[in-house]
Amino acid sequence: MALSIGIVGLPNVGKSTLFNALTKAQNAEAANYPFCTIEPNKATVAVPDKRLDALAEIVKPQRVLHATVDFIDIAGLVRGASKGEGLGNQFLANIRECAAILEVVRCFDDENITHVDGAIDPLRDIETIETELLLADIQSAEKRYERLQKMAKGDKDAKAAAEEVARLLEHMNAGNPASTFEARESDAFQLAWREMGLLTAKKIIYCANVDETGIGEENAHVLRVRELAASRGADVVKICAKIEEELQGLSDEEQAEMLGSYGIDESGLVSIIRTGYHTLGLASYFTAGEKEVRAWTIKQGWKAPQGAGVIHTDFERGFIRAEVIAYDDYVKHRSEAACRSAGVLRVEGKEYVMQDGDVVHFLFNV
């Protein structure tokens, strides 16, 4: 499973600059005017993980495969997008499959960069973004409700699902996000829920974009964003898109030196991915062999068969057992054979709960 993050924000808040920097792909034009991102931009980025690099140094495989993150950048939203203002909300469909939404808000003052609403106010921007996401969800739910009503005439399940969608619409029309809706158990409604891909049901990460002076300190704009996020149980990432852009093309040593000069120890890419894993409750495990050393993304709390299923569904169906070595033990003993001899290789069954950093070899029936 790959982590997918949709990047949203108002025009001229730095989200396309951020996209360029995060993906090292200069295919999202960054310009000082609204709506410079017309088509959605998507890029797949390797997840930086020093543990994977350490394992590769020990095993010396033919190839090293990182876990990946998909970033999708869409055109800037403005107030009234659901009614066609600006470029409208036509591109929101491109992030309905994303696991999380990164809301980029501008938290710096610069008279040379215009703001679509005339002044810097990140909380107002967040309200605008989330209102447009909610209105888009209402439109989606209304369409689903109409279809279910037509089906309900001869289908009891469709009728029950239609009633639930009606409750959902009432909930959202009152200004509430889909994430706070308590649905009754219904297979038909759960199917409708998944197909709608409601944006306000997704996890939100707030991204405060600051200037160079704000990266090492908490300005008033950032503090307001953090306070709002805390009240909603959401995570916040503070980045400087301009610095991230300047990091591109530098060696690892040069990047570390530049980040250190600003008093930070990790890039925006690492910070956003780390926060995304935390927000979504994700973890990584590793497989290590002569052919490849590879990182795999799983949900925290998954049991061994589910973890095996990420590699291939046959692994989950035919799961027999898992041979597990903790990352620290593998690095200490330097090989699977040495870990076995030292007694730190464990044989686990179907009830084993996967741990972040496990180095695993699965055995299964074909």
CA distance 174 to 95: 24
Give, for 158, the enclosing helix (H) or strand (E). Answer: helix 156-173
Rg from Cα positions in the chain: 23
- Nearest alpha carbon to residue 132 among 155, 150, 116, 152: 116
Strand order across the 63-65 sheet: 63-65, 292-299, 282-288, 359-364, 319-325, 346-348
**Residues comprising the chain, all counted:** 366
SS3 state of residue 320: strand
Q: For 1, which DSSP code?
A: -
Helices 156-173 + 187-196 axis angle, to 10 = 50
Which residue has tokens 């659901």? 82
Find all residues with CB under 8 Å of 201, minimum gap 6, and list them: 137, 177, 178, 179, 181, 193
Under a CB-based contact definition with an 8 Å cutoff, are residues 79 and 88 in contact?
no
CA distance 253 to 349: 43
| Pairing status of strand 282-288 against strand 292-299 | antiparallel
Under a CB-based contact definition with an 8 Å cutoff, are residues 135 and 89 in contact?
yes
Give, for 23, the enclosing helix (H) or strand (E). Answer: helix 15-23
Which residue has tokens 């990266």? 215
| Pairing status of strand 346-348 against strand 235-239 | unpaired
Residue 13 annotated in ligand binding: yes
Residue 16 annotated in ligand binding: yes
Count Cβ atoms within 10 A of the Cβ of residue 84 and give its class: 0-12 exposed, 13-18 middle, 19 or more buried. Answer: exposed
Binding positions are 12-17
Binding positions for ATP are 12-17
